Structure 1
C-alpha cells in the first residue's frame, strides 16, 4: 500500500476512535507480536530516545508514527520501568504541535537538571516547497510526569557549512557545562558530528565540528552518542552511505563506534581507532546509551532499519526495540551483555549435556517461541557446529560456528517470511577460540545472539509460522561436546 503525503502527515487528533480501534484489532491479531520486547501498540516504532533514569525509574522514549507501518508524522512515545524488564506504557510524551516541530518530533536525548527531566529533540519542519528546516527543541518533564514544551527552539537553525540534515542531539554534563553532539551533513555531502555547549540547557553556543579520522565516511551520521567508559572516549553513531566491504557493512545502513582517548572539548578533537559495527546482525540501528545509578553504561537499539519492508506491515505495525545491554571494554573492544535483571523473566530451567557426532538432534523439552537459551560447545573437532531455532516444516533459523573458517554465521535463509532479501540472508564474523558459547534470546519474531559473553552480537527479526517451535543441535564433520540450558520467558508487559 502506498501512503500519500496527506496520510503520512495526518494529525492524530483528526483520527476517529473507530479507526484507531480497527487498527488495534488488526495489530493484535498479528501472529508475530512479541512477548517480552518493547513494541508499538500500533503503527511504526523506530529510534530509541531520551533513555534515562529519573525519579526512581528508567525512562525510555521512542519515535512513533501511530497510524501505520510507515515513516509519517513522528511523536515521542513514553514507556518506563523500575527494573529494565517490566515496562509500563505511559503514552504519547511529545506531540508535533507548533511551527518548530510541525512535521515531526525527531530523535533526541534526556538529562536530569534542577529536579526535572529535560528532553532535547530535533523539531522537523517542511516549507511550502517541501524543504526541511530543523530546529533543536526542549521539553521539560516534572516529577508528576507532566511534559511541557518550550515555546521556541534552543538552537535555531543550522550553522554555516552544513545542510538541513542536522538532527538527533545527545546531551551530557561535564564539569559545569552541558554539551550536546548533533549528527550532521557537510555541504560537501559527507557525514560528521558537531558540538554545542551550554551552561543552562537553554542558551547554546556552537563549538565546532568534532575532528575524527573518518574524513569521507558516508553522507550522514545519525543518532550520535558520546560517553566515556574505563577512561576511554567512545562515539556511537549510525553512518549512512557506507559500501559493503567483505563481511562488514552488509545492511542498508550501519551502526557502530570508534574508541580512543577522551574527547578534547577545547579542540573538538577525538583521537580514536577503527570503526567497529556494534551488532553484526540484520536489524539493528540508532542505538542510544545511558549511565544508570549503578554506574552501568546500558544501550538499547532499534530492532529494525529504515526503508525496508517487514512482514508485519500488513498487520498495521512495524519494529521493536532490542533488550537493554550493558557495555564493557575488554581487549580494546566493546562487549555487550543482556542486563542481569532479565534473569527475572526466567521460568523453570531445563538442561542437557551431550556429545554430538556428525548428527542433528532434538532434545526433549527444548522447544518454544519465547525463551532464553545458553549453549556452550567445547572439546570439538567438528568442521562446524551450532543450533537451529524456530524449526518447523521447511523453516529454521541457524546459528553456527565454522571451525575451518573461524566464522560465526547467522543464517535466516529459511526463517519464514522473507525480509530485506536484497541485502542478503546471511551475516557472519570472525571469531577465535576453542570454546564457543551462544546466549540466545528468542522471541516470537526476533533472535538476539550474544557470542562468547558478548564479544559479538547478532540481532535479527524472523517471521516463522506459529507451529515452527523446534530446536535442533548439530555437528558436522566431527564431534563436539554440548551443554545447553533453556528457560521459557514470561510475558513482561503490563498493558500490551
Structure 2
C-alpha cells in the first residue's frame, strides 16, 4: 500500500497547486484537492479528533475510493494528514469504501468495506463487498489486516460498517440490499476479527422504503436508541424526500440479545439540498456529535471546475427532545471561530430590502411571526440564495439561484406553532447551514455565489416583517 499511498499523495499535491478557492470553504472540512464524499472513521482518541473521508485524490470526480484524513485537538482547527488507505489489494482493489474507527485497547483501528467490481466498473449488478480491518499505532500510518467479514450468500451490496463496544463485546451494524430491499444487519464479535450474525435490526418492507440502506449508525441517546441510515430509492412525497437520496433515522428501544423495537417511524434528519451519509461519534466529554457529506449524488458541483468537489457539514451536537425527535445544534466549540461581534437593532421592514453587511458568516436572529404579515420575508445571501418565511404556505424556505438550472430549487420546513422563529445561520463560501428553533429543524445546502456577491440583507415583500435583534460574526478559518 505504501506505493499506492505515495502516488495518491503526489496526485493530490499536483491538483492542490492548481486549485481555485472561489468556493473553497473557510470553516468546513474539504479535501486539499480532488473529490470527497462520506465522512468515515470519526473518533476522539488520546485527546485528538480524527475525521477520515471517502476521497478520490486523482481528480475532482468520484473514482476508486481512498480514505482522506484530518485531525484536530479542539474540534475547531484542523490539519490535513497523509491519506490513510488506498485501494489495491485483491479484496479492495476497486475501493476502500466507507466505515468507522474504534479504539481497540489504545490501537486506532479502522473497519471499512473492501469493494471489487466483478464486471465492468460501475456495474452495481456485479460486485463483491467485504468488511476489512486496518490498524495504526501512531494515528497516521495504517497497516491493512485484511477481510474479517464476507457477505452472506445471495447478498452483494453489503457495506458501511459502524462498530461500537457494549456489554464487553463489539457490535457492528452495516447496510445491505436483499431481494432489492434495504436493511440494517447486526453482528457481534469479541475481537473485531471474528463476527457472528445477530439479526436484521430493521428493513424495508417494500421498495417505497428504499432498495438499499447505506451508512447505518446505531447509538444510544437519552433513554432511547437511534438507528441512523441513508435509504436509497425513496419517492418524493410533497415536501418530503426531495433529494436524489435521503438521510434519516428510526427511534426505538434496544439492548443486546433483543429486537430493535421501533417507536418513531423514519424521519428525515435535514431538510436541505445537500446532506447525506451522516456518521456520529462521541466527543471527549461524552456528547454525541455528527458530521455528514454536504453534497448530493447527481447534483451539479461547480467547484469541479476549480479542481475539487465535496465538503462536510459543521460538527453538530445531537439531542432528543421531549417528543422523541432528534435535534441537531452547531457544536459549541465553533464559537471559538468568531471574530468581532456585530449587532443590529430590532426593526420593522415593510416592502423593502435592508443590507446588513458583506463579511458576516454566522447570524443569530429571531423573527416575530405574529407581528409579520408580509407574503415573503427573510434573508438574502447576495443573489445566490435566500431564506424566507412563505406566509401563505406557512413554511420556512431555503431557495437557491444559479446559472445552472438544476441548482435552482427550494427546500422547506413547516413553521413552528409558536409566534417566534429563531434562526442560527452559517454562510461559507459555497454553503448555507440553517438551524431552526434551536435544532427543531435544519436545512443544509450548497450555494455558489459569484465572488463579491455574499452580502447579507433582510427583506420583506408584500407587507411588513418584524425582525428581532441580530447578532453576527465573521468567522476565522479552521485550517492550521
Structure 2 length as normaliser, TM-score?
Answer: 0.93
Distance in 2, matches of 1:419 and 1:337, equals 31
Shift of 1:170: 0.4
Of 64, 78, 95, which aligns to 1:73? 64
Change (3 A) 1:144 1:109: closer
> Where does residue 277 of structure 1 map in the other structure?
268
Of 304, 313, 319, which aligns to 1:328? 319
* Matching of residue 99 in structure 1 with residue 103 in structure 2: no
> Where does residue 404 of structure 2 map in the other structure?
418
Distance in 2, matches of 1:384 and 1:296, equals 40
* Deviation sequence 1:393-446 (CA, Å, 0-9, x none): xx241101223432111011x3x343744xx60001112221001111100111
Of 207, 212, 235, which aligns to 1:243? 235
* Deviation sequence 1:281-307 (CA, Å, 0-9, x none): 000100000112211000000001123
Change (3 A) 1:214 1:440: farther
> Where does residue 130 of structure 2 map in the other structure?
135
> Where does residue 114 of structure 1 map in the other structure?
105
Checking the alignment, whether the CA contact within 8 Å between 1:117 and 1:140 is kept in structure 2 is yes
* Deviation sequence 1:188-221 (CA, Å, 0-9, x none): 2011111111011111111221245755411100
Give runs of aligned pairs for residues 220-235 of structure 1, distance below 5 A. Answer: 220-235=212-227
> Where does residue 3 of structure 1 map in the other structure?
none
Distance in 2, matches of 1:492 and 1:44, equals 19
* Deviation sequence 1:470-494 (CA, Å, 0-9, x none): 2111234234143211100011201
Distance in 2, matches of 1:144 and 1:427, equals 40
Distance in 2, matches of 1:213 and 1:380, equals 45
* Matching of residue 468 in structure 1 with residue 460 in structure 2: no
Of 441, 444, 469, which aligns to 1:483? 469
* Deviation sequence 1:35-93 (CA, Å, 0-9, x none): 11111111101000000110111111000001112111111111111111101111201
Distance in 2, matches of 1:78 and 1:16, equals 12
Distance in 1, matches of 2:76 and 2:22, equals 23
Checking the alignment, whether the CA contact within 8 Å between 1:417 and 1:462 is kept in structure 2 is no
Instruction: Say which is worse superposed, 272-281 or 207-216, in terms of deviation.
Output: 207-216
SS in 1 for 2:50: strand
Checking the alignment, whether the CA contact within 8 Å between 1:115 and 1:143 is kept in structure 2 is no
Change (3 A) 1:439 1:165: same
Checking the alignment, whether the CA contact within 8 Å between 1:386 and 1:398 is kept in structure 2 is no
* Matching of residue 146 in structure 1 with residue 146 in structure 2: no
Of 209, 214, 217, which aligns to 2:200? 209
Checking the alignment, whether the CA contact within 8 Å between 2:355 and 2:455 is kept in structure 1 is no
Give runs of aligned pairs for residues 16-415 of structure 1, distance below 5 A. Answer: 22-27=14-19, 29-127=20-118, 131-143=126-138, 145-150=140-145, 152-155=146-149, 157-162=150-155, 164-186=156-178, 188-211=179-202, 215-216=206-207, 217-261=209-253, 263-330=254-321, 331-363=323-355, 366-368=357-359, 371-378=361-368, 380-384=371-375, 386-391=377-382, 395-412=383-400, 414=401
* Matching of residue 434 in structure 1 with residue 419 in structure 2: yes
Shift of 1:116: 0.9
Residue ranges of structure 2 left out of the alignment (5+ in a row): none
Change (3 A) 1:199 1:67: same
Alignment size in residue pairs: 469
Structure 1 length as normaliser, TM-score?
Answer: 0.90
Residue ranges of structure 1 left out of the alignment (5+ in a row): 1-9
Change (3 A) 1:253 1:123: same
Distance in 1, matches of 2:47 and 2:388, equals 41
Shift of 1:16: 10
Change (3 A) 1:383 1:359: closer
Distance in 2, matches of 1:133 and 1:385, equals 51
